[in-house]
Amino acid sequence: MVEMREQPDGRYGRAYGGDTLNTAVYLARLGADVDYVTALGDDAWSGEMLADWQAEGVGTGLVQRIPGALPGLYVIQTDANGERRFLHWRDSAAARRLFTHLDPAALDGFDVLYLSGITLSIYDEAARAILLGALDAARARGAWVVFDTNFRPRGWPDRARAQALYAAVFARATLVLASTDDLDLLYGAHGIAELLRHVTTAEIVLKSPEPQSCVYAGGETVRVIPDPVDTVVDTTAGGDSFAAGYLAARLAGAAPVVAARAGHHLAGHVVRHPGALIPRSHMPNAFQETS
């Protein structure tokens, strides 16, 4: 999506972002071989985004270009504590039409499929059925299915439908990256219990606002408390960068607890900067520095 950031003087700076896109870029910066699968328009901003992703090392061979379509747009406003508020315009975003242009068999070559709750929210029922079929095919061939619970209530007018779809993806997941905030919004007081129903079939990382995380893997539960962050400028992409740090470490062979430390380490750097994607010059090596 096109990102517009409100400045203190009322002017706006333009960039780009989106939860899964942020994770893909940070994964590429950490050395992972990653493709981003989405749909864009044929406008100049879509072309600019595509070129920027390629410059970041993100594969774009499966990005669909739809004539006449436009990307989504969002505005970020942040308060004095760095907490952000989003305003979205994505009802007609090209990404919603991905599976009317992409053959899901194109996903068969990947070892890991990563998606989020926002991914689920933008598709219609036909596209969701295609996506769930692709996840089934991935699990059948031994690929990982990684699900980040990112839940945004405005994207889900039917809460019961959201709960059913989350359950369907939990059941297919190899790894779930969840937050207590997401679970509280989606399920209420029994959200953690709903997630942990899948603890025997999926590796689970549950993040709390403190910040800290609980890792449920291999029959063990370990709490991971990161080093404190002295100054938080903007929490945008904190969770997305955690996901990238965690996945990069796991794909490099690190144990889940080590991977959680890597995720917190990268997120701690990201929230010190404005915007979803921090300058490359400020990127830590999240895995090597915490292994």
3-state secondary structure of 223: strand
Are the CB atoms for 208 and 196 separated by under 8 Å? no
CB contact set of 187 (below 8 Å; sequence gap of 6+):
163, 194
Query: What is the structure's pLDDT at 233?
Result: 87
What is the C-alpha to C-alpha distance for residues 235 and 123, in angstroms, rounded to an integer?
Answer: 26
Q: Is residue 182 in a domain?
A: yes
Cα angle for residues 21, 27, 30 (degrees, 5° grid): 145
Number of domains in the chain: 1
H-run or E-run covering 250 = helix 238-251
DSSP 225: -
CA–chain centroid gap for 167, Å, is: 18
Q: Is residue 55 in a domain?
A: no
Whole-number Cα distances in Å, 290 to 144, 224, 286: 24, 12, 6
Give, for all 291 residues of the chain, the pLDDT tens digit: 888 878 878 888 888 889 999 999 999 999 999 999 999 999 999 999 999 999 999 999 999 999 999 999 988 777 766 566 778 787 889 999 999 999 999 999 999 999 999 999 999 999 999 999 999 999 999 999 999 999 999 999 999 999 999 999 999 999 999 999 999 999 999 999 999 999 999 999 999 998 899 999 999 999 999 999 989 888 889 999 999 999 999 999 999 999 999 999 999 999 999 888 999 999 987 555 444
Q: Is residue 46 in a domain?
A: no
Helix extents (H) in 30-175: 44-55, 117-122, 125-140, 159-172
Query: What is the structure's pLDDT at 85?
Result: 75
Q: Is residue 87 in a domain?
A: no
3-state secondary structure of 110: coil
Q: What is the pTM of this model?
A: 0.92
Q: Is residue 258 in a domain?
A: yes
CATH number at residue 189: 3.40.1190.20
Q: What is the DSSP string of 175-191?
A: EEEEEHHHHHHHHGGGH
Just list the catalytic residues: 240
CA–chain centroid gap for 270, Å, is: 14
Q: Which domain holds residue 179?
A: 18-36+100-282
Q: Is residue 219 in a domain?
A: yes
DSSP 78: E
Tokens encoding 20: 């899964």
Q: Is residue 80 in a domain?
A: no
Query: What is the structure's pLDDT at 289?
Result: 47
What is the C-alpha to C-alpha distance for residues 205 and 188, in angstroms, rounded to an integer?
Answer: 19
Q: Is residue 290 in a domain?
A: no
* Torsion over CA: 27, 28, 34, 38 (sign): positive
**Residue 4: burial class (beta carbons within 10 Å; 0-12, 13-18, 19+):** middle
